[in-house]
Structure 1
Amino acid sequence: MRNRIMVVLILVLGSGWAVCRGQDTADEWDMRVHSVDGAHFYALADVDSVTFHSRVIRVPAGHFVMGDGASYCGVDEHEVTLTRDFYLGRHPVTNKQFMKAVQWAFDNGYVTAAIESVQDNLDGSTERLLSMDHEACEIQFDASGVFYLRESPGSAQSAYPDGYNPADHPVKEVSWYGAVRYCDWLSMQADLQRAYEHAGIWTCNGGDPYGAEGYRLPTDAEWEYAAQYDDERISPWGFGPPNCDLANFYNGSTHCVGWTSTVGSYPEAPAGLGLWDMAGNIFEWCNDWWICDLGPYLVIDPTGPQTGTHRVARGGSWNTADTYMRCAWRENGYPGAGYNHDLMGFRIARTVGP
């Protein structure tokens, strides 16, 4: 569908503009963009440029040193080789993207929903995927079966006193189960084999995430490899300290924003890949079970522990200090609904096929 949208837009800007050149002014013309959500109109006189961004970035296979000798649970430095190229989301999944997907899942009976939460309804699972009863959650659900967006009534009101549009802010209050379920929804829509089991410990592709066909979360190693690409930099933007022009975080005395920001509000970092928000804004779930001490050993395509109680989270958030911005800094979270999920989001990954 995205390709068809692009074609329509090119035709409008090309042949459509050629038609309107015969008019006295472009003020009378609208640009109409078609998508699965319907047609959207934009005043042509207000459009000065159109930019297309891929939702995923191809990250080449390679070798790097994981850990930096100083970061929390990233002290141990060890060599890691990733043998397969992979796609990584350019930015964290947004409220708009998650809402569209969960509406599809609800309409097809893959989830159940009430005012306070979205529950899984596939493969016998009933895990909570999204906590809508928390003020941080900007996705809501009404009695007619429709999901919609709202401004958070919490800290967001101080950060954005004139109001804000939550559509392109990263989704919050999503559990690890909700993140991997979203990946599976994308796989189902694309007719790809789902990556995750939805019983027991929710293993990714039988314990081999790198061999999964469908969408998934990045592994712990893939996330750090992409964040420091490709010079083993300390932070995604380089070797210097963070500031509020580079990322959305808590700078030691005040918040840069005081809430999440629209994805892509800061410079691409690492610029060599063109990724957004790898540090700050929202923590990102990773595929792996959590363990702090990774050891000093050479590892090829690491998958982390086979079991655990918590999952790896990366990147820091709008409400965490500058030390969390380091590529090697490793955090964790309980995969079900609960602690700190107002700071948890995610980005998608997928192994590049043969």
Structure 2
Amino acid sequence: MCVAPTSKLGAQVGSEPVANQVNAEPPKGPKPTGMVWVPAGEYQMGTNDEHSFPNERPAHAVRLTGFWMDEHEVTNAEFARFVAATGYKTTAERPIDWEQLKTQLPPGTPKPPEANLAPGSMVFTQPDHPVPLDDYTAWWRWVTGANWRHPEGPNSTLKGRENHPVVQVSWDDAVAYARWAGKRLPTEAEWEWAARGSLANKRFVWGNTPPTAKQANIWEGKFPYQNTKADGYDRTAPVASFAANGYGLYDMAGNVWEWCSDWYRADEHVTLASLGQCENPSGPKGSLDPDEPTVPKRVTKGGSFLCHISYCESYRPSARRGTAFDSGMSHVGFRCVQ
């Protein structure tokens, strides 16, 4: 629901977030295990900062009711319990459905050999030399046999990574886990409000100072060919390895991108800003990315261990991207709300 900018609610645009009378305090009863309460409030979603991407602008007023959120990303161990209980097979563990895939490709695209439709996923592969930053194929490749159990391919395992965030999971996989756990994925508005941790209009989850190796798991060095690992990690880090934000949430910047429930539209912030203050927005009715108009995408937030100021700097609360809903990748995971 949205209200006109001239209303009493709309007049509060630009103010510090103010707790709503409803859901300001957590509901009575036991606290859900591993979750923290994110109070109701009002904030400016997005940004007007010129040093941002167009899809983050303009800032617009949003009001949310309170909710519980996982204090950290869903881990490999937690996802393994879901799979053991249900027998679920992730998207990356199933053969590619050509009939579905071809709807995302230019008309007339020929069917590839069957071997190319074997189960697999996208894996970050670090080059050993500088590469053009406008060609992501220089550091991403499709690997047959890559999935959540084998994040880098058949020869990789989860040994020692039980407490790392699960990756190589599609949006469908995240939704399936959330339903099993009696939860759901956060909306983009909920995720961003939670990431801000009660700090209004700040560039990062900790304030306005640039990140240090002690604040988040992001790319240190020269992207994508030189990683100094100053933060202590080559790829993902164990969850809660860095300080929590103001709401007690870990890894709301870096580590892995996180799935949200919303369809992705590059112009969604423009639409919402024109409507005035919105209450509990749940995203557009469908997806549209002008760069890949045939690919249905869902919103991902938070950046990852691959984010660097020279390339994306998306470890900011307002940063957003669209990711193909049926794709798993080395740097995409999720957390749930309730």
TM-score range, shorter chain: 0.5 to 0.7
Once the two structures are superposed, what CA deviation does each residue of 1:121-172 show, in whole Å capped at 9, x if it has no partner?
xxxxxxxxx95776764526xxxxxxxxxx8569989xxxxx9611001101
Task: Give the deviation of 1:238 after TM superposition.
Answer: 1.6
Normalization by structure 1: what TM-score? 0.61
Equivalent position amino acid for 2:81 in 1: K
Match of 1:246 among 201, 209, 215: 215
Match of 1:310 in 2: 297
Where do residues 1-354 of structure 1 align in structure 2 (5 Å cutoff)? 54-70=33-49, 71-72=52-53, 73-82=55-64, 84-106=65-87, 111-112=88-89, 117=93, 137-139=147-149, 152=152, 165-187=160-182, 215-232=183-200, 233-253=202-222, 254-255=226-227, 256=229, 257-268=233-244, 270=245, 272-293=246-267, 294-295=269-270, 296=273, 297-308=276-287, 309-322=296-309, 323-337=313-327, 341-350=329-338
Equivalent position amino acid for 2:251 in 1: D
Task: Give the deviation of 1:75 after TM superposition.
Answer: 2.0
For 2:298 and 2:60, locate their aligned partners in 1 and report how far apart those are by CA, in whole Å.
21
Structure 2: any 5+ residue segments left out of the alignment? Answer: 1-31, 96-118, 122-142, 288-295
- Between the aligned residues of both structures, percent identity stands at 32
For 2:155 and 2:208, locate their aligned partners in 1 and report how far apart those are by CA, in whole Å.
31
Q: Higher relative CO (CA 8 A, sep ≥ 6), structure 1 or 2?
A: 2
Number of aligned residue pairs: 236
For 2:47 and 2:89, locate their aligned partners in 1 and report how far apart those are by CA, in whole Å.
43
Shift in CA distance, 335/275, structure 1 to aligned 2, threshold 3 Å: same
Equivalent position amino acid for 1:249 in 2: I
Shift in CA distance, 177/168, structure 1 to aligned 2, threshold 3 Å: same
Paired residues of 2:147 and 2:153 also in contact (CA < 8 A): no
Once the two structures are superposed, what CA deviation does each residue of 1:71-108 show, in whole Å capped at 9, x if it has no partner?
322121101011x21011101100110011011111xx
RMSD: 2.8
Normalization by structure 2: what TM-score? 0.64
Task: Give the deviation of 1:230 after TM superposition.
Answer: 1.0
Equivalent position amino acid for 1:179 in 2: A
For 2:301 and 2:58, locate their aligned partners in 1 and report how far apart those are by CA, in whole Å.
16
For 2:317 and 2:155, locate their aligned partners in 1 and report how far apart those are by CA, in whole Å.
27
For 1:172 and 1:136, locate their aligned partners in 2 and report how far apart those are by CA, in whole Å.
10
Shift in CA distance, 65/287, structure 1 to aligned 2, threshold 3 Å: same
Structure with max Cα Rg = 1
For 2:34 and 2:48, locate their aligned partners in 1 and report how far apart those are by CA, in whole Å.
33
For 1:263 and 1:288, locate their aligned partners in 2 and report how far apart those are by CA, in whole Å.
24
Shift in CA distance, 112/286, structure 1 to aligned 2, threshold 3 Å: closer
Task: Give the deviation of 1:251 after TM superposition.
Answer: 3.1
SS, match of residue 185 in structure 2 = coil
Shift in CA distance, 104/289, structure 1 to aligned 2, threshold 3 Å: same
Shift in CA distance, 175/234, structure 1 to aligned 2, threshold 3 Å: same
Structure 1: any 5+ residue segments left out of the alignment? Answer: 1-52, 120-129, 141-150, 158-162, 188-214
Task: Give the deviation of 1:332 after TM superposition.
Answer: 1.3
